[in-house]
Amino acid sequence: MAEEVRVRFAPSPTGEPHIGNVRTALFNWLFAKSCGGKFVVRVEDTDQERLVPGAMDAVLDCLEWLNIPWDEGPRVGGPYAPYIQSERLSIYQELAESLLREGRAYPCYCSRDRLARMRDERRVQGFTTAHACECRTMTTQERRDKEAENGAPVIRFGMPTSGVTKVHDLIRGDVEWQNDLQEDFIILKSDGFPTYHLAVVTDDHLMNISHVLRAEEWLPSTPRHLQLYDALGFDPPEFGHLPIILGPDRSKLSKRHGATGVLEYREEGFLPEALVNFMALLGWSLDDKTEVLPVEEIASNFTLDRITKSAAVFDREKLEWMSGVYMRQLSTGDLAGRMLPFLERDLPGDSLPVEQPYLERIVPLVQERVKLLSEADEWTSYFFNDVPEYDPKTLVQRGMDVQGTLGALRRAMDEVASTESFDHESLEALLRAVGAELGLSARQFFGVLRTAVTGRTAAPPLFETMEVLGRDLVALRLESAAERLDQVSQSEEL
């Protein structure tokens, strides 16, 4: 009988949550969902020096924003609590102690300098930089002497000096390492904190993790973990090493590549469901055609054998496209609700407050034009003021002159003021006829009106826009346009 699938995401709170981290979280969660397993979050805060206050909350906020819930972990608790490693120190210390007693680990008194020198020497000699110092074979007396002069040692794990360590990686297949090339790595630092290696192995075992799905950069430390499992008498979980995510220069995605923090994408107004879909496609695919699919469908079709082995370059342009796709799928009310906080943030103060019912009339006009919520203000600002800012000269369309443009504006003013129905269909019928009468093409006439009404040369359909703005505002803007154009042309003639 197969055991319950339990996977975990184990971020270390050392900075802003990163696309790479979150993609790993997503794959773990997808895998758990795909087989009815549990997804646990565990905070690996064993590096006190690099610890960044608030980083843990940022990670958790990201997961929540992306709608990736966890079954156990911080904020939700669970049967294996605590899920924060700094609260579990005694567990690791006891295990390190027992390893020490059994002779599988030993105290090491070497200084960093000495270690660095040894590594350099080995490197020039063409050897691996690994392997142990002589602390491994010290006598008890020698240790006592060292301790007196050097203070607290670190605890190193003694790797086997012969044989190979093999893993059957769920994604990469069989991989093996020669043991004598492996380093005697530190499991307990001199401050009493465990290193990653001891802590993961311990907690993955204690928390009953069945599958370790982590980034490929961890593959080289897998033999260490396997040997630790063995020495501790624990059954190892299954391992699967996920392809890493690269920046445009094909090196591991990192801060120097610019926007890599997930929170930045939230600030920019990417839709979380688009980010999730997009990240899932970084290393996984359903088939040869389908790319846009809801997360439930990704989860129900998610299998490890469809994960790629090769690293993937993060393509922001495609993400933007996908965000637009999801944007268009939203209902009016939903989109309006999501836009609101962005408009409140980005619109000038005198345009506020934004009323949701009014916004919902605007949304259908801009929905298929907006890719990011942070663009919402650019697309809608002229709905929230009296007269938009623009260069009056842009009123004059190709093939027209100032006088003709002024005439067109004044004629439109009259029509707008006197027409009975102000719905877009009537307006279009009416103004089309007027344009023809003036001898202007639709492009010209509507171009003049577009600039006058919206202040821009690219905007949603004119007549729907007018309908939403209402007769008074439209009339005001047409009038203002005529005045401003008149002024400019006069001042330039002088």
Partner RNA sequence: GGCGCGUUCGUCUAGAGGCCCAGGACACCGCCCUCUCAAGGCGGAGAUCGCGGGUUCGAAUCCCGCACGCGCUACCA
Stretch that binds RNA, among 230-238, 308-316, 415-423, 468-476 (CB under 7 A): 308-316
Q: Per rule CB under 7 A, is residue 279 in the interface with RNA?
A: no
Q: Per rule CB under 7 A, is residue 12 in the interface with RNA?
A: yes
Q: Per rule CB under 7 A, is residue 462 in the interface with RNA?
A: yes
Could you confirm whether 393 is annotated as catalytic? Answer: no
Beta carbons within 10 angstroms of residue 103's beta carbon: 10
- Encoded amino acid at 33, one letter: K
- With tokens 């049967």, the residue in question is 79
Site for RNA in 48-77 (CB under 7 A): 49-50
As beta bridge partners, residue 178 has 164
Residues 6+ apart with CB under 8 A from 226: 165, 167, 236
- With tokens 């690996």, the residue in question is 44
Contact residue for RNA among 4, 64, 69, 115 (CB under 7 A) = 115
- Encoded amino acid at 51, one letter: L
Contact residue for RNA among 87, 147, 191, 386 (CB under 7 A) = 191
Enter the DSSP assignment of 195. P
Contact residue for RNA among 95, 219, 347, 372 (CB under 7 A) = 219
Closer Cβ to RNA, 12 or 210, answer by number: 12
Minimal distance in Å, beta carbon 285 to RNA? Answer: 4
User: What does residue 98 show for φ and ψ, rounded to 5 degrees?
Assistant: -70, -35
Per the structure block, which two tokens stand in for 493? 């003639």
CA pair distance 123, 24, nearest whole angstrom: 33
Closer Cβ to RNA, 172 or 393, answer by number: 172
Stretch that binds RNA, among 138-146, 175-183, 333-341, 485-493 (CB under 7 A): 175-183
Contact, 100 vs 93, CB < 8 A? no
Residues 6+ apart with CB under 8 A from 101: none
CA pair distance 481, 476, nearest whole angstrom: 9
Stretch that binds RNA, among 8-16, 54-62, 67-75, 203-211 (CB under 7 A): 8-16
Contact residue for RNA among 136, 146, 172, 410 (CB under 7 A) = 172
Contact residue for RNA among 83, 193, 239, 326 (CB under 7 A) = 193
Element (H, E) at 176: strand 173-178
Minimal distance in Å, beta carbon 450 to RNA? Answer: 6
Contact, 242 vs 24, CB < 8 A? yes
Q: Per rule CB under 7 A, is residue 289 in the interface with RNA?
A: yes
Minimal distance in Å, beta carbon 442 to RNA? Answer: 4
CA pair distance 278, 274, nearest whole angstrom: 6
Given the residues 255, 289, 309, 371, select the one marked as catalytic: 255
Instruction: Map residue 2 onto helix, strand or coil.
Output: coil
Per the structure block, which two tokens stand in for 456? 């821009």
Minimal distance in Å, beta carbon 69 to RNA? Answer: 22
Stretch that binds RNA, among 201-209, 316-324, 384-392, 473-481 (CB under 7 A): 316-324
Closer Cβ to RNA, 190 or 301, answer by number: 190
Closer Cβ to RNA, 288 or 492, answer by number: 288
Burial 38-72 (b: 16+ CB within 10 A, else e): bbbbbbbbbeeeeeeeebbebbbebbebbebebeb
CA pair distance 220, 197, nearest whole angstrom: 12
Site for RNA in 431-460 (CB under 7 A): 442-443, 446-447, 450, 457-460
Stretch that binds RNA, among 268-276, 322-330, 331-339, 415-423 (CB under 7 A): 322-330
Task: With CA atoms as reference, report the closest residue to 372 among 447, 272, 282, 460.
Answer: 272
Size of the site for RNA (CB under 7 A): 84
Task: With CA atoms as reference, report the closest residue to 324 among 280, 279, 373.
Answer: 373
Site for RNA in 19-48 (CB under 7 A): 44, 46-47
Minimal distance in Å, beta carbon 310 to RNA? Answer: 3
Q: Per rule CB under 7 A, is residue 220 in the interface with RNA?
A: yes
* Beta strand extents in 105-216 (DSSP E only): 105-108, 154-157, 164-169, 173-178, 186-188, 211-215
Closer Cβ to RNA, 333 or 461, answer by number: 461
Q: Per rule CB under 7 A, is residue 305 in the interface with RNA?
A: yes
Q: Per rule CB under 7 A, is residue 143 in the interface with RNA?
A: no
Closer Cβ to RNA, 247 or 337, answer by number: 247
Stretch that binds RNA, among 87-95, 318-326, 388-396, 403-411 (CB under 7 A): 318-326
Contact residue for RNA among 221, 332, 385, 489 (CB under 7 A) = 221
Per the structure block, which two tokens stand in for 175? 């991989």
Per the structure block, which two tokens stand in for 359? 């916004």
Residues 6+ apart with CB under 8 A from 26: 66, 68, 276, 279, 280
Minimal distance in Å, beta carbon 13 to RNA? Answer: 9
Contact, 330 vs 366, CB < 8 A? no
Minimal distance in Å, beta carbon 98 to RNA? Answer: 20
Residues designated catalytic: 255
